[in-house]
Amino acid sequence: MLLLRLRLVKLYFGRMKTSSRRLFWIFPLFLLVFCSCDVHKKLAELHFKQGVKKYEAGDRAGAINDFSDTIAQNPNLTEAYLYRGVIYLSISNCTAAIKDFDKVIELDSGNAVAYADRGLARQALRDYSEAATNFSEAIKLDPDSATAYKGRGMARTSLRDWEGAFEDFNEAVRLSPDDPEVYRDRAGLLIMRKEFENAITDATYAIKLNDQDPLSYRFRGSGRLRLKDYEGALADFDDAIKLNPRDADSFVGRGTVRLIEGKLNAAEADFTTATQLNPTNLFAMASLGLVKKKNGDLPGALSIFIRAAELAPKSPEILYNLGNIQNDSFQYIPALGNLRKVTELDQKMYYPRFRIWLIRTRLGERDEATKELSANIKTRAGEEGHEWELCIARFLVSDLTETNFFAQATATARRPTDLGGQQCEAFYYAGMKRLLDGDKPGAAELFGKCVGSGQDNYAEYTSAMVELRELKMP
């Protein structure tokens, strides 16, 4: 290369004597050939430094331009792709971000940060399976990455792999014990696992570390709501809304408290605000359906849940509520179909299986229904935290007497706040079994006790009201 450059120098000076007019054009050409590599390198370095400064100053558009110029000068500089990808991710241009992270990994297959960031982008696109795969690769490359464990925990939560998610969040807490987001995210998972006391503990610690995060207040409010601490839950949802008045889910949470307390107009106002903030928020839409259901407007509730199921055909919660309302509207075949979809989407849910047994028995398939539910009981016998649900299943298939069933409604209550709800459920299922056995007076008596429990936020309460009304009709 040095010999070639010396020959070019000799050629250039040799021609200077014969054509001075060419000097103006040949000299820049000479410089370009002689120095192009250094120039590109220096330009790339200059643009990269400018991009970093603009990124740190919050000028994302300017930083993107500088990193793009960097890549034009040096297409093998992994840091430029990584920075630009992070910025694209921050402005929700996930497709562009993934392309940049792909390039980083192509240039440096051992870059753990790129795998973790690509996982975040995949997660934002709701491609949770691929996100989990990327986080797993990041963990292989960097076993001490709390970010990767936290990200995989979130992806696994969305995939309903709650045990795997719990392990990931625990590891993230070990690696980063002062990160409030880890405690907050684990609190969200604990709510799904119905470990409400532990969820409140985690959310409270997250708030201690960062009292300006609305999501921590929302999660703590959700835990308090499930423990029927309505005053505490309302305060938390109010704080979440103050910190982020555009968070639709916080309005759904506050509306749910008001719905449970019977303040239907206030609840409907919160749910309506949530749908205005986020027209695709399924929980807000479903909650409006629950307001109609609680008002006794089953056709209105049914219409809303049908629409919600069209928007989210793979949401077990939406389909379960739809199946229940169809059942209460005596639409047994559609209800059965939707409840079966629920068990396919989430095999861990118990209550859809109880409804399936009731509907199949009502349709004359009692033996087949009993075999199906009995087989499920065998696979789940001894599941910790689900003693009451297993009692319901055993009662329906006649492995538990009615007297013992009522006793278990009290004995298996994990918290004092669970007692009223479990008794409400016991009266309903016992009433249904008497009805299916032809004992209408006995069924009416138990449906009356279910309604008399006042637990009007339970699906069984509404179903008991429907059945009681039918029995009283001439």
Q: How many other β-carbons are positioned within 10 Å of the β-carbon of residue 297?
A: 14
Confidence of residue 360 (pLDDT cuts 50, 70, 90): very high
The pLDDT tens digits for 54-106 are: 899 999 999 999 889 889 888 998 999 999 999 999 999 999 999 999 999 99
* Two tokens, residue 358: 């009731």
The per-residue b/e assignment along 131-167, b for 16 or more CB within 10 angstroms, e otherwise, is: bbbbbbbbbebbeebbbbbbbbbbbbbbeebbebbbe
Exposed e or buried b per residue across 59-85, where buried means at least 16 C-beta atoms within 10 angstroms of its C-beta: bbeebbbbbebbbebbeebbebbbbbb
More confident position, 68 or 22: 68
**204-209 LR contacts (CB < 8 Å, sep 24+):** 205/180, 206/180, 206/181, 207/180, 209/178, 209/179, 209/180, 209/183
pLDDT for 425-448, tens place per residue?
Answer: 999 999 999 999 999 999 999 999
Per-residue CA distances from 267 to 271, 308, 407 (Å)? 6, 19, 35
In this predicted structure, the answer to whether residue 172 has a pLDDT above a threshold of 90 is yes
C-beta of residue 74 within 8 angstroms of C-beta of residue 44: yes
Sorted by where each begins, the domain ranges of the chain are 184-245, 373-474
Residue range 184-245 forms a domain whose CATH class is mainly alpha
Cβ pair 205, 213 in contact under 8 A: no
pLDDT range class, residue 383, cuts 50, 70, 90: confident
Kindly give, in sequence order, each residue whose CB lies less than 8 Å from that of residue 283, ignoring residues fewer than 6 positions away.
Answer: 249, 252, 274
